[in-house]
Amino acid sequence: MRYSHQREAIKKTIQETNCHPTADWIYKETIKIIPNISLGTVYRNLKCLEESGDIKTIYDGNIARYDWNTEPHNHLKCKHCGDLIDIVLSDESIHPQIKQDFKFDVDLVEMTIIGTCQKHT
Amino acid sequence: MRYSHQREAIKKTIQETNCHPTADWIYKETIKIIPNISLGTVYRNLKCLEESGDIKTIYDGNIARYDWNTEPHNHLKCKHCGDLIDIVLSDESIHPQIKQDFKFDVDLVEMTIIGTCQKHT
DNA sequence: TTTATAAATAGTAATAATTCCTATTATTAT
DNA sequence: ATAATAATAGGAATTATTACTATTTATAAA
Ligand SMILES: [Mn+2]
Ligand SMILES: [Mn+2]
Ligand SMILES: [Zn+2]
Ligand SMILES: [Zn+2]
């Protein structure tokens, strides 16, 4: 994979926010730096960055969001404001139980905890 | 909400499968019974059935799937064949921990466990 | 049992997110 | 500097879903 000005800007945009942005948000931010970047380039590079392990894709309902935090973690999702908050839970304990009960070989546990965040109290 | 032949057929289609079908799959099945049903009618009634509590919508990546099983449960997702398998885990134990640690009021825990099912051994 | 009312439908157009296509541009090895 | 080709911009195409509207249908009243 060859260097590109565009890919670096996209990566930087993602790494500078905690908001788990969508492709469109990333496009609107990156276009401020590279005024003629195209949305197609954003999508293509999001895929590159995911493949190189620089970012992670998360599916929030039926929209893709992107996360600079590639460490295993889960999310709290507020049903009022839609915010996604990172949490780390020790869910490794589930793996052997499932392997035994369902003959299912676990890679990862994707957990989203839905509720109300502290902003709405 | 008024009775409709179409809605009943859609509901029956969902209740007769364990495959967590997409809207399109449901459409293709239901059209065998009601040959002139439209995809819009399928989508509209899926929303009705969700609101009335007859079915549950689950998001698998960026596509919506529908589930007749409205009891709280989670899914094993096979990364090879894409199958979704129902499981029930007692995850209630994490609710109070999260409330304390994150001041986040938990409604439900959506968990998808990704790995390899027994078909690929 | 007709008739009136409005909810639901079929068919189609529109939208939103994402991917694909291609002529042009930019990176990088020589 | 030049050549080779990976990456881009811009736009078209695709896919999933929603919106629109004239017509049909369920249902309640006469
Ligand atoms: Mn995160
Ligand atoms: Mn299920
Ligand atoms: Zn909130
Ligand atoms: Zn499988």
User: Could you state, in order of their start, the residue ranges of all structural domains in chain B?
Assistant: 5-67, 74-120
CATH class of the A74-120 domain in this structure: alpha beta
Q: Beta strand pairing status for B74-78 and A74-78?
A: unpaired
A3-57 confidence digits (pLDDT tens): 999 999 999 999 999 999 999 999 999 999 999 999 999 999 999 999 999 999 9
Cα–Cα distance for residue pair A89/B97, rounded to 1 Å = 10
Domain B5-67 has CATH 3.30.750.200: no
| Chain A partners within 8 Å of B115 (Cβ) | 98, 104-108
Give the per-residue pLDDT at B64.
Answer: 97
| Distance between the alpha carbon (CA) of B88 and the C1' atom of D15, Å | 32
Closest nucleotide to B43 by C1' from CA: D17
Cα–Cα distance for residue pair A7/A49, rounded to 1 Å = 8
Among the partner residues B62, B110, B112, nearest to A64 by beta-carbon distance:
B62
Closest residue to C28 (CA, C1′): A2
pLDDT tops 80 at residue A90:
no
What is the chain A residue with the closest CA to B104?
Answer: A117
Nearest to A45 by CA among A85, A18, A8: A8
CA angle B4, B8, B10 (to 5 degrees): 115
CA distances from B61 to A28, A32, A63, A71, A92 (A): 24, 30, 8, 20, 22
| Chain B partners within 8 Å of A115 (Cβ) | 104-108
Which residues have CB under 8 Å from A82's CB, separation 6+? A60
CA dihedral A56, A60, A65, A67 (to 10 degrees): -40
pLDDT tops 80 at residue B93:
no
CA angle B88, A102, B16 (to 5 degrees): 65
B30-63 confidence digits (pLDDT tens): 999 999 999 999 999 999 999 999 999 999 988 9
Closest nucleotide to B41 by C1' from CA: C9
Give the per-residue pLDDT at A121.
Answer: 81
Q: Which strands make up the sheet holding A74-78, listed edge to edge?
A: A84-87, A74-78, A105-116, B105-116, B74-78, B84-87
What average pLDDT is seen over chain B?
92
Among the partner residues B110, B115, B121, nearest to A111 by beta-carbon distance:
B110
What average pLDDT is seen over chain A?
92
| Distance between the alpha carbon (CA) of A118 and the C1' atom of C4, Å | 53
